[in-house]
A and B are shown apart, each in its own frame.
Chain A
Amino acid sequence: MSIVTISRGSYSRGKEIAEKLAGILGYECISREIILEASEQFNIPEIKLVRAIHDAPSVLDRFSYGKERYIAFFRAAFLKRLQNDNLIYHGLAGHAFLQKIPHILKVRIIANLDDRVTEEVKRENISAEQARHMLVRDDAERRKWSMALYGLDTWDQRFYDVTLHLDTMRVADAVSTIIHVLQRPCFQTTPQSLEMLDDLSLIAQVEAALVRDFPKAKADAVKGVVYLSIRGSLVDEKRITAQVNRLVENVAGVKKVNVNIVPHLIED
């Protein structure tokens, strides 16, 4: 009863590790499927979702909240899927959404850039120089994305439970290490940690339901009671509260909604 997220750069063999791990443990292995699910659930083009969780937000995104909107949809689909337990997720953004959940094993896979270049040249049939350029740009974009949206540096080891360097170990060694770590009690699902995951998933569902009308809405949830901070003028408090209640009432698992209007933010 565990969940593993594997964060990796392109061509770092993270996918291979995830699939082998899932095969051994008998867990489900997921990655891009989440994008498809989110795309279907919220009726949005898949390509926009892919870009939203890959490219760093532009200056224009800051005002339009386009990126936040798609990420909210992706996050809702992702966390809903995680509630099934016993799964391995490899791909983008996973660790960023799960920092608060202790029992999920967050793994970072690092590979030598030369090895990654070789792998990309082999698979994409491009020159080594092109491959190197693409990988460096890709890594930089991922870091910018995470910094801009969550203030997390994907290269900062503090956000992972385990970091494995494939320069010094083979895929099988990495899989074996992860399985060993996963046996520790702290990475076993408990009723409390499952409850935390349920709350986090509910928060994501509520924020996804609101993001079109209130892109800056911030939710918190405890056992179905949702606390929402919505920015807006206090003059419109009644209208906003009614609109929020209408948007959230159909989200599964919501028992009660408390709306708090945030009229301003002044930073000193």
Chain B
Amino acid sequence: MTFLRRIFPFLRWWNFLGWDTVRADLMAGLTGAIIVLPQGVAFAMIAGLPPEYGLYTAIVVPLVAALFGSSLHLISGPTTAISIVIFSSLSPMAEPGSAEFIRLALTLTFLAGIFQLIFGLARMGILVNFVSHSVIVGFTAGAAILIATSQLRHVFGIRMAGSESFFADWLNIIGAISSINPYALMVAAGTLCCAVLFKIYRPRWPGLLIAMIIGSLIGLFLGAESHGIRLMEGLPGRLPPFSMPDISLDTIRELAPKAFPVALIGLIEALSIARSIAANSRQLIDGNQEFIGQGVSNICGSFFSCYAGSGSFTRSGINYHAGAMTPLSAVFSAVFLAMILLLVAPLTEYLPIPAMGGVILLVAFSLIDFHHIRVIVRTSKQEAAILLTTFAATLIFDLEFAIYAGVLMSLFLYLSRTAHPEVVNLIPDPDAPAQLIAQEDSRCPAFKIIRVDGSLFFGAVNHVVEFLQSIDKHLPCKCHLLIVACGINFIDITGAEMLVNEARRRRGLRGDLYLCGLKQNARDVLERGGYLDNIGADHIFSSETEAIAQILSTIDNPECRTCRSPLFKECENRE
């Protein structure tokens, strides 16, 4: 059974089902289906695909991801970030909305799914942990600005050619400001106002859907088509049709580099949302299983006319807050959406594109996480730099480059942090001499105590050596050094050799090196490599008190004899 549960993870929660959970999931599923309807259409437009592809993605992808993923509440499907990455990746290769563009999008989805599945099977879920929250926040904020910019032409009713550059888009818009269509602007503004009001006053209502209906009514009232307002094409009222991604070697070679960032963004998005909701629902998320779920859903989706999907924060949040208890809510949502698609699809031809633009503006605004931006800027300059870099890279360069830039910067800062372990000077606490406290420097002329907070590995050795040598520069008589090693979690061979060299150097200076509070695994490394013999097994102590007593009893420094204000209580008893 355990084997079966590993292959079919839905068996893990199957026994939890009952009429109460099914009822809760039905209600949450219905809410989700209504929410995703406008989003699916909007996101497909962002991705440069016909609107029905967004809905197909909102039907197939969440269903498969829910059954094969780990999170009980994550709702997958079309998302803004992935939509915009798909658009920016494929638009140089084919005309958005064309058959060629669709073929490439399906193949990209298939390849992204394969990447995600491989990541999951290879148990690489841990890698996503290296993408910091600041990267996600910066990237999402940048993507939100790009999305909003891409919709301004629809909102203003301006006819202009699309460009590949964010700044060029703005220049085009400013240049065309005199040709704004006031009717299109009225429809967009009316829709946006409604959506905002619903979001504020009735957050649990399907505000986007109602706003779009109101936008359509405004369009009808104004006589949309006679005033040059473009209307959407009617959606085909059918279930996701079977499709075949192009799995030829040439296409794979061409698209694989573009599929990789789609896979990466999808996984980061899905896992961070799943974890964020799990923090409230007290569920433990299995990152690798979530990867597998996302991968399988995108692979399956590519055979059912779906483009790449991932976890949606809005829909997952609504799903959880609507009382969903199991992934069946995603299944119900997909079924309801399929029914809605069959019944009301033709009505979408009354939907003015500016109304859709207004809705997308709100969606884009909602993506900007102002709260976390404030927290990051206030808390850490390094994190703020990562955020700003990712944000700027999103606007200026390709989206995948922005993610890589953010990830690389995060990794660089992480490595930099671990390569610079904190080294703290310690002295006895004047109020409780048995305790050591951190203080700038001590007045003891012969003996120094430091604590190293971090691992002694090849990357950190240089920093520690610099610190140790700086002691002699400023205080040449302090030749006896005790390292409190309780903060050293790991020592590698380079670290161990550094300790041996330091011990030798100090002996040459008429001092010595001592260690106390060494963790067992660090001690094992020193023992196995024979380093302990060089440092001296009797130079390793279990506690600071024992170490200080032993070391001070052996120190015979001429300055100690004339010391009038000993720092250590052990010195007071010396003759």
Chain A interface (Cβ within 8 Å of chain B)?
62-65, 214-216, 231-236, 263-268
Contacts and interface: CB of A to CB of B under 8 A. Distances in A.
Nearest to B283: A264
B321 A235 contact: yes
Given A231-B20, A232-B325, A265 B15 contact: yes
A268 B281 contact: no
A233 B324 contact: yes
B283 A268 contact: no
B2 interface: yes
Contact of A267 (B15, B18, B283): B15
B24 interface: yes
B30 to A, nearest CB: 16
Nearest to B282: A263
Contacts of A263: 281-283, 325
Contacts of A62: 18
B18 A215 contact: yes
A149 to B, nearest CB: 14
Contacts of B11: 267
A264 B325 contact: yes
B24 to A, nearest CB: 6
Contacts of A267: 5, 11-13, 15
Nearest to A236: B323
Interface in B267-323: 280-284, 320-321, 323
Interface string B1-38: 01001000001110111111110100000000000000
A227 B176 CA distance: 69
B12 A234 contact: no
8 contacts: A63-B19, A215-B20, A231-B20, A233-B323, A233-B325, A263-B281, A266-B72, A267-B5
B16 to A, nearest CB: 4
Contacts of A264: 13, 16, 72, 281, 283, 325-326
Contacts of B321: 235
B90 to A, nearest CB: 38
B280 A63 contact: no
Nearest to B322: A235
Given A233-B320, A233-B324, 16 more contacts: A63-B18, A63-B19, A63-B22, A215-B18, A233-B325, A234-B281, A234-B282, A235-B323, A236-B323, A263-B281, A264-B281, A264-B326, A266-B16, A266-B284, A267-B5, A267-B12
A214 B15 CA distance: 16
A28 B5 CA distance: 50
Nearest to B22: A63
Given A266-B12, A267-B15, A231 B282 contact: no
A233 B17 CA distance: 13
B325 A63 contact: no
A251 B243 CA distance: 61
**Dominant SS among interface residues on chain A:** loop
Interface centre among A231, A234, A236, A264 (most CB of B within 10 A): A264
Contact of A231 (B21, B22, B72): B21
Given A264-B325, A266-B12, A63 B283 contact: no
A266 B13 contact: yes
Nearest to B6: A268
A226 to B, nearest CB: 20
Contacts of B13: 264-267
Interface in B39-79: 72
Contacts of A64: 19
Contacts of A63: 17-19, 22
Contacts of A266: 12-13, 16, 72, 283-284
B66 to A, nearest CB: 14
A167 to B, nearest CB: 39
A40 B289 CA distance: 51
Interface in B506-561: none
Nearest to A68: B18
Nearest to A214: B20
Contacts of B326: 264
A65 B18 CA distance: 8
A234 B280 contact: yes
Interface centre among B11, B12, B20, B24 (most CB of A within 10 A): B20
Interface centre among A232, A236, A263 (most CB of B within 10 A): A263
Given A233-B325, A234-B282, A268 B2 contact: yes
Nearest to B325: A233
Contacts of A234: 280-282
B18 A268 contact: no
A234 B72 CA distance: 13
- Give me the 9 closest cross-chain CB pairs, A-B, nearest first: A265-B16, A233-B323, A266-B12, A63-B19, A267-B12, A264-B72, A263-B281, A235-B321, A233-B325
Contact of B320 (A231, A235, A265): A235
A234 B324 CA distance: 10
A231 B72 CA distance: 14
Contacts of B2: 268
B14 to A, nearest CB: 8
A213 to B, nearest CB: 9
Nearest to A213: B20
Contacts of B284: 266
A234 B283 CA distance: 11
Contacts of B22: 63
B410 to A, nearest CB: 31
Interface centre among B5, B18, B324, B326 (most CB of A within 10 A): B18
B91 to A, nearest CB: 40
Given A263-B281, A263-B282, A264-B283, A233 B24 contact: yes
A173 B16 CA distance: 48
Contacts of B283: 263-264, 266
A268 B21 contact: no
A196 B53 CA distance: 62
Interface centre among B281, B323, B325 (most CB of A within 10 A): B325
A236 B13 CA distance: 20
A263 to B, nearest CB: 5
A233 to B, nearest CB: 5
Interface centre among B21, B284, B324 (most CB of A within 10 A): B21
Nearest to B21: A231
A150 to B, nearest CB: 16
A62 B12 CA distance: 17
A265 B281 CA distance: 12
A80 to B, nearest CB: 27
A232 B25 CA distance: 11
Nearest to A216: B18
A232 B282 CA distance: 13
Nearest to A266: B12
Contacts of B16: 231, 264-266
A204 to B, nearest CB: 20
